[in-house]
Amino acid sequence: MDKLTIRDIDVAGKTVLVRVDFNVPRDAATGKITDDNRIVAALPTIKYLLDHNPKAVVLFSHLGKVKTEEDKAKNDMAVVAPALAELLGKDVKFVPVTRGPELEEAVKNAENGQVILVQNTRYEKGETKNDPELGKYWASLGDVFVEDAFGSVHRAHASTVGIPTNLHPAAAGFLLEKEIAYIGKAVSDPERPLVAILGGSKVSSKIGVIENLLGIADKIIIGGGMAYTFNAAKGLKIGKSLLEADKIDLAKSYIEKGGDKLVLPCDTVINNAFSEEGDIKVVEGDIPDGYMGLDIGPKSIAAIKKELEGAKTVIWNGPMGVFEMPTFAKGTLEVCEALANMPEANTIIGGGDSAAAVKQLGYADKVSHISTGGGASLEYMEGKVLPGIAAVDAK
């Protein structure tokens, strides 16, 4: 990797500013954290820093969207401090402001590796605009910067880009390093054959990914709701299935450009209602009027498994069907199982719904890497330069 990592920098006696991703889901009624995965993912970097005798570790993160006073109250970062303290087994000082004497004194007076969690960065209007003054101010609080919020590096914000623009060295934490090592390598220098499996509901959300991977992947397998737009482009009837009519011409161009490289489902599990009740059956070719496709069928599953034989790198983004309903989870489950049984391959799950599916279906520990960033992983797969990664110093 050509980026500086935390192994390359000396943090002894220094105040280390770390951009983490603590944008955790919470219960709407109680405000309690319902999934602490993002906090857990940051622990290796935080613990490594603490083991190397810093003066303080100051953590910055956003939490939700903040546009109103109601949003502020709902997305107060205070909820994270006790959860982090419990996981770290160490006191975490929460500073309820994003600038001013209270924050400055807390940082200045910290010692012996005190962990400080700063209030939600989005309390500052300048955060999402990458306000130069805000980035410079936050940078003035520390000696070293560590970027470890992969889920936010596709955004040029004051906390992801403004701080490292003004503070050096700026290094990658372990989480970011891992994302660069897996997704970055998969799209820039993959071990071949490279097979991409793309699902989910919409072609529109995967346009950049498909276009980039058509030039990189050896095979691209299409599933999920977006497959019906491709089937419509082939002239097949799709009944009441999900369709992006304005993307049919684009799908046609991908079919022509992709040729044998593009693999579409050959059969579909259909129903006459968006429900687990109804007239459920498997069809090949046209979907009858009044029916909708809700999962890929057994022949499509067999075809995917065949395409995966011998693959050395597999990128999967997007479920194969409505996996939240057990009746229509088989396609997604079978893809999970197939990837779980490829120990020799580099199997990468690209965040979002596919990451949720892998975890929900119990295969999280059987794949090489599950990305922590939905939007960031998609943009990385598009071959884009992500501003938060670009801001990290080169070795």
pLDDT of residue 376: 86
User: Does one domain contain both 225 and 365?
Assistant: yes
User: Does one domain contain both 199 and 273?
Assistant: yes
Annotated catalytic residue, options 113, 208, 278, 375: 375
d(CA 233, CA 247): 9
The amino acid sitting at 322 is V
pLDDT of residue 1: 74
- CATH code of 158's domain: 3.40.50.1260
pLDDT of residue 44: 98
User: Does one domain contain both 156 and 194?
Assistant: no
361 within a domain of the structure (yes/no):
yes
User: Does one domain contain both 362 and 216?
Assistant: yes
pLDDT of residue 354: 85
User: Does one domain contain both 165 and 267?
Assistant: no
Annotated catalytic residue, options 162, 200, 224, 352: 352
392 within a domain of the structure (yes/no):
no
pLDDT of residue 350: 86
390 within a domain of the structure (yes/no):
no
85 within a domain of the structure (yes/no):
yes
Q: How far is CA 92 from CA 17, 56, 110, 116, 324, in A?
A: 14, 11, 11, 6, 37
User: Does one domain contain both 159 and 192?
Assistant: no
Report the number of distinct structural domains present in the chain.
Answer: 2
Q: Which domain-ending residue is among 175, 209, 225?
A: 175
- Is 202 labeled as catalytic in the residue annotation? yes
388 within a domain of the structure (yes/no):
no
d(CA 177, CA 150): 9
User: Does one domain contain both 199 and 277?
Assistant: yes
Sheet with 346-349, side-by-side order of all strands = 262-263, 219-222, 194-198, 313-317, 346-349, 369-370
Parts of the chain with a pLDDT under 70: 351
pLDDT of residue 28: 87
User: Does one domain contain both 261 and 236?
Assistant: yes
User: Does one domain contain both 41 and 151?
Assistant: yes
d(CA 394, CA 164): 12
125 within a domain of the structure (yes/no):
yes
Give CA angle at 48 (368, 39), nearest 5°: 60
Residue 113: give the domain boundaries: 6-175
Q: Which domain-ending residue is among 144, 175, 206?
A: 175
Q: pTM of the prediction?
A: 0.89
The amino acid sitting at 126 is G
User: Does one domain contain both 193 and 338?
Assistant: yes
277 within a domain of the structure (yes/no):
yes
User: Does one domain contain both 119 and 224?
Assistant: no
Annotated catalytic residue, options 14, 38, 122, 155: 38
Q: Which domain-ending residue is among 133, 155, 175?
A: 175
Annotated catalytic residue, options 47, 185, 202, 366: 202
- Is 352 labeled as catalytic in the residue annotation? yes
User: Does one domain contain both 209 and 158?
Assistant: no
228 within a domain of the structure (yes/no):
yes
